[in-house]
Amino acid sequence: MNKTVKNADEAIKDIGDNTTLMLGGFGLCGIPENCITALVKKGVKGLTCISNNAGVDDFGIGLMLKTRQVKKMISSYVGENAEFERQLLSGELEVELIPQGTLATRCLASGYGMPAVFTPAGVGTEVAIGKETRKFMVDGEEKEFLMEMAFESDFAIVKAWKGDTHGNLIFHETARNFNPMMAMAGKITIAEVEELVEAGQLEPDQIHTPGIYVHCIFQGSNYEKRIEQRTVRKK
């Protein structure tokens, strides 16, 4: 049951070229920093990344965009990354923008073993082009819904506050964000944690992600915990 590995390099050793990755986090909060650094070091190419965002130019997924390791981004927000914008406009990067709720629901569907979900978000817009729609009765009124397929990812990489050697995870406040649902959805889930403890040391009622979803875990280091948009009061 001990799922610990030594470090990020060992954790991501099986991630190769043309892999589809889920990466937890929201903005720069709760992102798997150590694993991203290890992927940049390894130099894997042709990645499809499913993430709330694309990081910034010098942090998060932005580091992999800078080294041209990402082939496709599937995200709901990408507004803080100039290199992302350049690659998109030049045609170097394929991009699929998704409503944020739809992104979350497609992750959950994958984790629950559901092939698809129906959502009103995107009906009648470019998001719906080429996708099936169906009508359902809602509150006595027939409404149209868009069918969105569950994600298929080879690996999910998440970051937690605490974890144990069996892979049970606790996330800290807003850093929970997309991490639990992506941990459920990945065929192989890698977790990096700020504090790793022995099995049995976490309070069961506080665990957000059970270890059954996690395949390997390691204690990370040197977390920067950046603030994406800093607003300060004038003196």
Taking the domains of the chain in order of start, what are their residue ranges?
Answer: 8-99+151-219
Return mean pLDDT, the chain: 94
User: In whole angstroms, what is the distance from residue 174 CA to residue 208 CA?
Assistant: 13
pLDDT over threshold 90, residue 43 = yes
In degrees, rounded to 5, the angle at the alpha carbon of residue 166 between the alpha carbons of residues 161 and 169 is 25
- Per DSSP, the three-state class of 112 is helix
* pLDDT of 62: 94
* 8 A C-beta contact, residue 61 and residue 95: no
pLDDT of residue 149: 96
Q: Is the pLDDT of residue 109 over 80?
A: yes
User: How far from the centroid of its chain's Cα atoms is residue 109's Cα?
Assistant: 14
pLDDT given for residue 211 in this prediction: 97
| 229 has pLDDT over 80 | no
SS (H, E, C) 86-149: HHHHHCCCEEEECCHHHHHHHHHHHHHCCCEEEECCCCCCHHHCCCCEEEEEECCEEEEEEEEE
Would you give the end-to-end CA distance of the chain in angstroms?
Answer: 55
**pLDDT on residue 197:** 97
Whole-angstrom distance, CA of residue 179 vs CA of residue 160: 8
Segment 50-97, tens digit of pLDDT: 999 998 988 999 999 999 999 999 999 887 788 999 999 999 999 999
pLDDT of residue 17: 98
pLDDT at 173 exceeding the cut of 80: yes
- The predicted model gives 143-160 an average pLDDT of 97
Superfamily name and number for 8-99+151-219: Glutaconate Coenzyme A-transferase (3.40.1080.10)
Q: What is the share, in percent, of the chain residues with pLDDT greater than 70?
A: 100
Looking at residue 234, its pLDDT comes to 84
- Write down the pLDDT at residue 48: 98
Q: Identify the CA nearest to 98 among candidates 151, 156, 45, 32.
A: 151
pLDDT reported for residue 1: 81
- Residue 192 pairs in a beta bridge with 159, 218
